[in-house]
Amino acid sequence: MARKIKAPALFDRRLLREAFLQSFIKLHPRLMIHNPVMFTVEVGTALMVVVTFIAVLHLMLGEPVAYNAVIAIILLFTLLFANFAEGLAEARGKAQAESLRKTREDTIAKRLPYKDADPAEAEMIPASQLRKGDIFFCEAGDIIPSDGEIIEGIASIDESAITGESAPVIREAGGDRSGVTGGTKVLSDWIKVRVTINRGESYLDKMISLVEGASRQKTPNEVALTILLASLTLVFIVVCVTLSFFAAYAHTQISLAAYIALFVCLIPTTIGGLLSAIGIAGMNRALQANIIAKSGKAVETAGDVDTLLLDKTGTITIGNRKATRFHPLQGVDLQHLIDCAVLSSMADDTPEGRSILELAKQYPDKTKFPDATMIPFTAETRTSGIDLPNRKIRKGSVDAVGHLCAQAGHPLTQEAYAIVESISKNGGTPLVVSENGQALGIIELQDIIKPGIQERFQRLRKMGVKTVMVTGDNPLTAKYIAEKAGVDDYIAEAKPEDKMQYIRKEQQEGKLVAMMGDGTNDAPALAQADVGVAMNSGTQAAKEAGNMVDLDNDPTKLIEVVEIGKQLLITRGTLTTFSIANDIAKYFAIIPALFINQIPGFQALNIMHLHSPQSAILSAVIFNAIIIPLLIPLAMRGVAYQPVGATALLRRNLLIYGVGGLILPFIGIKCIDLLISVL
């Protein structure tokens, strides 16, 4: 199991110091202007400081100096708490980035002048001097100096510095496992690699940049919410200005401090102060899952995904089909079929070929067949076998071996096809064994479905996400596996264009689609999908096409990506609900306090029975400030995710965070008022 990139403790001393410093740095108007809600709070704070300063100089007679000063200080703390939340989220990201930097070394690269150059011609240069398109050579013991794609050779590579996975992996030229990452180590053999990025553009560099938070771009939903909050702020500016006319009509004098306090409590400062922190924390959670998201938009979009495309092999099934049974045809001895199956599998180094030897419990020695010609398995022929004197034994797919038998004048019988169909209906894969062009029987291979995968699909179904299995199997086998695994749909005998066509069809119906891939042939579909997750071990084309890269190379990670995205959206939604709900209590605290002296009837609105107009305003402003730091842990960790439908989720959020946000401020403001009245 690959280790996750460890997040520092929420209240680590180093993080708190950094966040405290950032709380003051972020007070600069050039930075605050990006958050319209808190910027207006800063303007109000500045006005209160000026008013207090003038009152101290006795230039504004009648203005209570101490009262104004306290309001100014509380508003300043409101700003500092909001900045602290964002600073803490960024500090956590920077701490994670520091741990990543330790995995990056400025190693020595063996740069070759051209592709076919001899390794002896290599020029030793610092890795920082490598540029896109350069070719370098690595052999056993070398640290790979840069991200690239293998153009020649094969090697065993230790990727634990990046993924934490201790088991080495095989990377080779020409396949879907040709991508290598800078900072990993070659354990055996040699490779020639073409650099695919310039310095500072590697996936590790991108990850470091993303998690540091300061360079994070706002996502579309976050921008939309920011615009909504800014609009509400403008509305409440109009409300406060209009209120002054009502006050004049009622012959009530309202101080500037009261107007500013009312305005700050009316606008949604709670969500305004936590909005950036929520987004940064969501990116950090993706990083902890060893996922590089090229943008925050990708993580957020994952939370809105409607359709999920998953490869069968390695995702739904364990990955290696195993031989489970030999089916001899009529008149063929079972032992003779087994012996021929073993001989035909001697040159088959695939997991399926080895599983046939395991089922037969025979492990023949190739040296005992000096006159034999071994026929290795290839994807092109889809067969393997052995040529002995007077005997030609083959094993392979029904189509390939059936064609060989037909050429020899012995086409497959109805009995053979009946066995093939029966195996396929049970989710198996049939392999035909023949001797001298005569079919002997069928080997049954079975996919092993991963434990617990059905429960995960059930969770996705509760979220409203449709799961689609993609496989190269025939329709009968695909249907069986799909039903057994519990997926909603499947694409059998899938080709790259089939994936593209399915994705486009779903998108034309207004749905968001996610998929995972690792090969060059997956690149078009990854680019077309709304969320494309490429495996780090895959080709450069796949990684460039996707908008996320999974460092663990775990095909099931796509399910985790969706859950992270949904948690981000749920956290933002619930805290927005809470923020708007908790403003109601502040209205009942401040508005009666403004008019109660001139209009005694407003006493009926003082349902909290607050001590005095001044203590009511102070209590509301203090609660408005302290609720922000109290919600920081929830913003950082995210709201607990539950796989339920949208209607049930809305009902739950309204009940917990809507009603809770409505009741809690009444209790909090009353407690603060009692404390102020005592003091």
Residues forming the active site: 311
Residue pointed to by tokens 């029904």: 398
Q: Which two tokens stand for residue 134?
A: 């350069």
Q: Where are the alpha helices (DSSP H) in 179-322?
A: 203-211, 220-249, 256-266, 269-288, 296-302
- Give the integer Cα–Cα distance in Å for 143 and 182: 8
Q: Kind and range of the H or E element at 194?
A: strand 185-195
**CA nearest neighbour of 298 among 313, 309, 312, 283:** 283
Within 10 Å of residue 142's Cβ, how many Cβ atoms?
19
For the CA atoms of 188, 192, 197, 203, the dihedral, rounded to the nearest 10 degrees, stands at -20
CB proximity list for 112: less than 8 A, separation 6 or greater: 119, 121, 122, 123, 135, 136, 137, 192
**CA nearest neighbour of 624 among 39, 46, 38:** 38
Phi, psi values for residue 385, rounded to 5°: 175, -165
- Give the integer Cα–Cα distance in Å for 272 and 575: 10
**CA nearest neighbour of 664 among 632, 615, 623, 625:** 623
Q: Kind and range of the H or E element at 434?
A: strand 428-435
Cite the annotated binding site for ATP by residue number: 348, 352, 377-384, 395
- The residue type found at 455 is E
171 beta partners:
155
395 beta partners:
384, 433
Cite the annotated binding site for Mg(2+) by residue number: 518, 522
- Residue 444 DSSP code: E
428 beta partners:
446
Cite the annotated binding site by residue number: 348, 352, 377-384, 395, 518, 522
**Is residue 129 within 8 Å of 518, Cβ to Cβ?**
no
Cβ-in-10-Å burial (0-12, 13-18, 19+) of 25 comes to exposed
Number of H helices, E strands in the chain: 24, 20
For the CA atoms of 557, 567, 645, 553, the dihedral, rounded to the nearest 10 degrees, stands at 0
Report CA Rg, the chain: 33
Q: Is 198 helix (H, G, I), strand (E, B) or coil?
A: coil
Within 10 Å of residue 369's Cβ, how many Cβ atoms?
14
For the CA atoms of 66, 69, 70, 74, the dihedral, rounded to the nearest 10 degrees, stands at 180
- Give the integer Cα–Cα distance in Å for 305 and 585: 37
**CA nearest neighbour of 595 among 243, 71, 267:** 243
- Give the integer Cα–Cα distance in Å for 343 and 331: 20
- Give the integer Cα–Cα distance in Å for 100 and 8: 13
